[in-house]
Structure 1
């Protein structure tokens, strides 16, 4: 990886709420064309870290650089042109169609009242296409299923045309099919469009299947970081989650799978 490939880099970053530190000494990089997945037990600081990188929380120590520029020196608009963030939950506007919602993603470039340009329209159509949300474009958001809404919100942040995408638990409340749909989109964005994707997930099997880099967070810091096969080991999972597991590799897909160790069933 060369320096120019790195979109986000943190150095000895400490994050938290008020003066209470949740994570310390975090060195994290998000690279162009790669999916970096943050995993760890509830309350370990995954979302706090992502929100700090997104500029929504102030670092308690250390630095965040976006495209080599200190995060604090970027205006909100300049940051939004580089980085798009999708939180766990978003308020559903009443009576707003999917296409109208996706248009909001262009405000970082044009402002709330500027006329839309050909570039804006092209970006909106691209975002609807890559998320397979075109069939939903004229439907009201409050009429959609959970999976359809998530595609609409994802299209909205993609319309920013940012080269960095941060997603906080994008598969929460979705059924299995829609979880894979969303993660397939993320994989496509990294592979085909060179976007640096940072995603908070709970499911370790999803992390093994979709991550180029997996970051395991536990006990107030980064426990391990690297390719899934190096990071998602039995001992690392036990240290992070307090769960004894067997890690095996699927012979067909090559992906890792984790199974809790259970006492043998009496015959």
Structure 2
């Protein structure tokens, strides 16, 4: 498998999450077998009767996931299916973000005019899907043409993916619960506050001069007080807005890394 280009990585991860969720649900939810009627004891058949088709399907569904003996196997399978399916998506859907998607009525009409999608919509969005994807899903018991083929299986995956693209990002304060610690020094036992990666003092200038889009102005990082103050000592507002508007860009600088390593070792003594 070829690697996903950097500009497509974000949407690929969204798509992989949607697909892996569907896979996990499929293999962890066994479908009950239909009840068989008991035959009268006096009835004797000269030859064994062929199993009913619904019993065959139920037996197959009960075996779904038998080939995934550990989570690594499932992760590898999900990666493969997600990668091959994502590569078949139209190019627009591989890189677009919420703000562009929300403003493009034509794009929404083309791909998401009637959510949720059905199996009939899948070939329209994935016209060049590699047949190996369908073969793999069938071979591992994920799909069965008699009940749920590849188009029907992928329809809710595509629905979830498109719905995510059309969901606005949450307000900065709403992301605090997900912060596992200061995004610079890693300390998780100290209070955090959010740092506007594009300082508010230069929001107007940043948009007017084309440094950033208006919808990106609320991007934040959760920092401890010490790291927050260090960042504002490290560079002025304009430099932060133009050159250091992500945590990764900040941490690429040697002085910032040295600071983060040093302050990350500080622990307060209990009293």
Superposed pair shares fold, TM > 0.5: no
Indicate the structure with greater helix content. Answer: 2
Q: For this structure pair, what is the TM-score category when the shorter chain's length is used for normalisation?
A: under 0.3
Which structure is larger by alpha-carbon Rg, 1 or 2? 2
Indicate the structure with greater strand content. Answer: 1
Determine which structure has greater relative contact order: mean sequence separation of CA pairs < 8 Å that are 6+ residues apart, divided by chain length: 1
